[in-house]
Every structure is written in structure tokens, then in C-alpha cells.
Amino acid sequence: MRYIEGIHRKSKIAFPEYIDDYITEDNPVRIIDAFVETLDIGEIGFKNAVPKKKGRPGYNPKDLLKLYLYGYMNKITSSRKLEKQAQTNIELMWLLRRLTPDDRSICEFRKNNKNAINQMFKHFVSLLNEWDLFGKEVVAVDGSKFRACNSKKNNFNTKTLNRKIKYLEEKIQKYMEEMEENDKNQLKTHKPTKEEIQAKIKELKERKKKYEGYKEEIEKSDIKEISTTDPESRLMAVNNNGIDVCYNVQTVVDSKHKLVVDCNVINNPTDHGMLSKMAGNAKEIFDVEELKALADKGYYNATDLKKCEEKDIIAYVSKQVFPNSAGEADFYPDKFQYDKEENVYICPKGEKLYSRKQKPIDENTKEIVYRNFEVCGKCDFKDKCTKDKRGRRVRRPIGQDFLDRVDQRTAENKELYRQRQMIVEHPFGTIKRGLGMTYFLTKGIQSVKAEISFAFLAYNMKRAINILGVKEIIKRITGKKVFVSLRFYKYTIFLENIS
């Protein structure tokens, strides 16, 4: 048996005459070219859409846009890696017409066109809407944490700062005592000199001063923590009960083809308040009278759910279940049933809890407390139910009647609600695993919004290719606008070849 052998490196090869011959008709790179060429980049808001009349010519924003789109579709997001790919990748040679922008030009383009990149994502969503790729009946909303460009050790709150300041004070005191001991005994053994200790003390004092400055900044502002590398990032809970400095990425996804309708980035660790906003954006894009929205328990918030009702958004959200103080699952709050007619709660053992006497309910009332200390004192299950010596209390928020209706609606539509994970977690899994987007390279909430817009635009393009195919998408894109720019481009290359 023989191995498959390659050709000699110095042998002559007859390559195809045109670089276009290397790019097949169904290559996704042709969609990138077609899509970007149809964009009115000036109207969208890209800088340098019109070339300068004087000075050194710059790169066409469309070329840099094509480079970034290709990169995000192929797990290449770093400007330095994109620079390298432009020099060696045959698809990029075709796409950029052999242009090789340096990493600084590539990086500055993303930095200077944040809002325009967001608008470009919305523009492609409008195309998907025109192509009838959205079902416009059911959407799912979810959030996922993406690591920010800020390490945990460069994130501080008052508690960690107090601990660090105390540690530094103890170290300074220890060095002071060591220096005093050396002077007193005049030890000749190998010990740090007075000058070395003084230098160390100076360094520790500078660090202490820096931490005290961070603490003062926190106390003067409304924030509870400070991130020194990316000030807008926050410490958030992530998978496996861990914590990291992150941003919270929000998406709303249509159920028909799992296409992302809208995306956003917030620095709030919780999802509260985002359901009505994200689902509302989808409803506005779809231009429908009513929309069903699925979400997990992170969006279980009465105020936000009422806003959904006002916008004719039918929300299906699983309710939050909180453990009781004793930790016995049989006595969790959801095991206490509310009787609306009698206005009492029925405990798991069949006893009634009554609302305590209080002032009349007004706009300042947030909850009503139900209890029955007399019965609780005689109950054999009290230790499993509560640690309160007097007995169990159940708190019913004002507006719980509305939440009960949401709970009932969700419970009656389990088959519909079961689709939530399949709809909305699909895009997150794809861009994290398939496109390699697990952390942000840029700093600041506006910059990371641009990054995530690129990522979800790449995702939507890939989904559209799977649904329609490359040739059909190009046909639909070019049918929207006469493709004079591409013809001119080929004509220009032809003139260059014969000159």
C-alpha cells in the first residue's frame, strides 16, 4: 500500500485565471458581499461613508464591514487574527479584492461605528421579516451572561475593599515593627534593609490609597461595586454556582425558525423588567395586534407582566419558588394554597392562616401577611415548617391575584411553554459553541452591544442560509436593489487586468 502523495513544492501549476473561480456559487461569502453592497452605509450611520477629498485615502467601510461579518461567521473576532486571515485566506482575498488592512484599522472601525453596527443588525432583521421567515405568533425571551473584559480581581465592592485595606494596614504595621526590631538589635544576619522595608511600606500605602479611593467612589455614587478595567461591567452569577464579571445579553427569538428578532445588553444581573421591553420590540417589528411570549422564572415580575398585558402581549412565565427557613420542600410557600373567597391561606396540613389586622390597603402597601400563631404553636410539623418561634408567616404581594392568573395560564399551556428552551436557548448555544462567542473583547456597554449585534447577525445569516440557501438569498437581496456596484466592481477589475 502507498500513501497519498502531494506534489513537489517547486513544480509549476496552472492556477485558475480568475480568483472568482475559487469561490463556488453557493459559498456563503457571496451573501456577505451581496448584503453589504446593497447597504446605504451613510444612511445607516457608518463613518467615512463618503471618501475624503484630501489627505491619505482610507479603507471603504464596506470592505471592513465584510471582513468583520466573515470573521464572526467563522469564529474569528480578534482584529489581529482578522489581519492575518486577510493575508492568507482565499475567501477573504476574493471578498476584499486582495486588500490587507492592518489590525489598527480593523479595530478602529468597530470602535467608531458602534451604533451603525446595531442598525445593520436591525436592517437584516427587516429583510428576514420581508421574506416571511418569522412566524409572528410566539416568541421566547431569555438572557445569558457573557464575560466582560475585566477580571474578578479587578472588581471591588465595599466588603472586599474593607478586607483588602485591613490586610494592607496589618502588613504595613508588621513591616514597621520589623524595621524597628532591626534598628534595636542591629542584626547582622540576612534581613531586609531599612531602605527595602521603607520601599515596601511605600508601595503598600499607595495600594491602600488606591483602594480607599475606590471605596470613596462607591460611597458617593449609587453603584454597589466598581470594575477598574471595564467600569460598566458587573459581578454576576454564572453557571455551576460561580460568579464572574459579566454583561447580561438579552434576546427575543421567533418560534418558526429560531431567528433572533432583537438583542440587547444590560449590566443588571437580573432579568426583571426586560420581558415587556424585548417582547414589545418584537411585536412592533412584526406589526401584529397580539403576541405570545415565553420566559423563565427570571422574568417573573408583577410590574413587568402587567406592562405586557397593556401591550397585548400574552406572557407565559414559570413562577419563582422560594424555600422556607426550615428547608423542608413539603412546606415551601407554593404548598400553601390561597382561598380567595375566605381570604385565607391553607397550609399543607389543612389549617387556615388569616391576614393580620393592619391599616387600609393603599398605594404604599406592598404585601399582606397571613399567620395563625395559635395553631402553629400546637402543630407537630412546626420545626419542619419554620424556625420562627411564634409560627409560620405567609406574605402575599399586592397584585398576587394578577400573578395567579399568569400562573394558571402557564399551567394550562404546558405544551406551549415546553417549547421555550428549544426556541430561545438555541441561538445562545450556537454563538457560544459554534461561533466561539463566550466573552467580550471590547469595553463599555455600547461597545459590547456592537459585538453582540455582529454575533447575532452572523447567526441569523447562517440560519437563513440553512433555510433558503445561498443562491436564493442572493436573488432576494439583489432583487431589492439593482446590483450596479458589483457590476462596476467586476468591470474595474477587468480594466486593471488588460491595462
CA distance 113 to 49: 11
144 and 291 within one domain: yes
Q: Would you tell me how many other CB atoms lie within 10 Å of the CB of residue 309?
A: 14
Please write the tens of the pLDDT for every residue from 450-487: 999 999 999 999 999 999 999 999 999 987 543 333 33
Task: For residue 24, tell me if it sits in a domain.
Answer: yes
User: Do 144 and 182 belong together in one domain?
Assistant: no
Higher pLDDT, residue 158 or 288? 288
Which residue among 227, 251, 283 closes a domain?
227
Question: Residue 462: CB partners within 8 Å, gap ≥ 6?
Answer: 28, 73, 430
Nearest-angstrom CA–CA distance, 224 and 423: 35
Report the chain's mean pLDDT, rounded to a whole number: 86
CATH number at residue 276: 3.30.420
Which segments within 107-242 are labelled E, that is strand?
Answer: 138-147, 155-157, 225-227, 234-237
Is residue 362 scored above 60 in pLDDT? no
Give the rounded distance of the alpha carbon of 116 from its chain centre.
Answer: 19
Q: Same domain, yes or no, for 272 and 159?
A: no
Q: Quick one: 443 exposed, middle or buried, by C-beta within 10 A (0-12, 13-18, 19+)?
A: middle
pTM: 0.84
DSSP string, 64-93: HHHHHHHHHHTT---HHHHHHHHHH-HHHH
**Cα–Cα dist 56/64, whole Å:** 17
Q: Could you give the percent of the chain with pLDDT greater than 70?
A: 90
| pLDDT at residue number 185 | 66
Q: Where are the beta strands (DSSP E) in 259-312?
A: 260-266, 291-295
* Amino acid 95: pLDDT: 95
Question: Within a domain: residue 12?
Answer: no
pLDDT tens per residue, range 321-335:
776 666 677 888 878
* Same-domain pairing of 29 and 108: yes
Do both 30 and 102 map to the same domain?
Answer: yes
Mean pLDDT over residues 21-32, rounded? 92
- Same domain flag for 87 and 209: no
**375 lies in some domain:** yes
Asked whether residue 122 is assigned to any structural domain, the reply reads no
Helix axes 114-130, 275-286, angle to 10 degrees: 50
**Looking at residues 133-142, what average pLDDT do you find?**
96
What pLDDT, on a 0 to 100 scale, did the predictor assign at position 475? 93
Q: Where residue 498 falls among pLDDT bands split at 50, 70, 90? A: very low
Q: Are 282 and 261 a contacting pair, CB within 8 Å?
A: yes
Q: Which domain holds residue 63?
A: 19-112+469-498
Task: Count other C-beta atoms under 10 Å from residue 361's C-beta.
Answer: 9
User: What is the pLDDT, as a whole number, of residue 423?
Assistant: 94
497: confidence class by pLDDT, cuts 50, 70, 90: very low
- Which pLDDT value is given to residue 432? 93
| Cβ–Cβ under 8 Å, residues 274 and 295 | no
Q: What does 24-59 look like in DSSP terms, one character per residue?
A: -TT-THHHHHHHHHH--HHHHT-TTSS--SSSS---
Is the pLDDT at 491 greater than 60, yes or no? no
Same domain for 350 and 294?
no
What is the per-residue pLDDT for 292? 96
**Does 55 lie in the same domain as 197?**
no
In a domain, 192, yes or no: yes
Given this model, what pLDDT does residue 483 score? Answer: 36
Share of the chain above pLDDT 90, in %: 54
pLDDT above 90 for 242? no
What local confidence, expressed as pLDDT, does residue 191 receive? 66
Is residue 401 in some structural domain? no
pLDDT at 151 over 50: yes
The pLDDT tens digits for 171-204 are 888 888 777 777 666 655 556 777 777 888 888 8
Average pLDDT over residues 82-109: 94
pLDDT value, residue 78: 94
Domain termination residue (choose one: 339, 366, 391): 391
In a domain, 365, yes or no: yes
Are 35 and 86 part of one and the same domain?
A: yes
* Stretch 224-235: mean pLDDT: 91
β-strands 352-355, 260-266: how paired? unpaired
Domain count for the chain, please give it: 4
Q: Find the mean pLDDT for residues 489-498.
A: 37
pLDDT tens for 30-57 read 999 999 999 999 999 999 888 888 888 8
Both 30 and 105 in one domain: the answer is: yes
- pLDDT band of residue 364 (cuts 50, 70, 90) is low
Domain end residue (candidates: 227, 256, 283): 227
Q: Give exposure, 414-432, as e/b (b: 16+ Cβ within 10 Å).
A: eeebeebeebbbbbbebbe
pLDDT digits (tens, 9 = 90+) for 247-305: 999 999 999 999 999 999 999 999 999 999 999 999 999 999 999 999 999 999 888 99
Only one residue has cell 395586534, namely: 289
Q: In this structure, are 168 and 87 located in the same domain?
A: no
Residue 420 counted as domain residue = yes
298 three-state secondary structure: helix
- Whether 368 and 288 map to the same domain: the answer is no
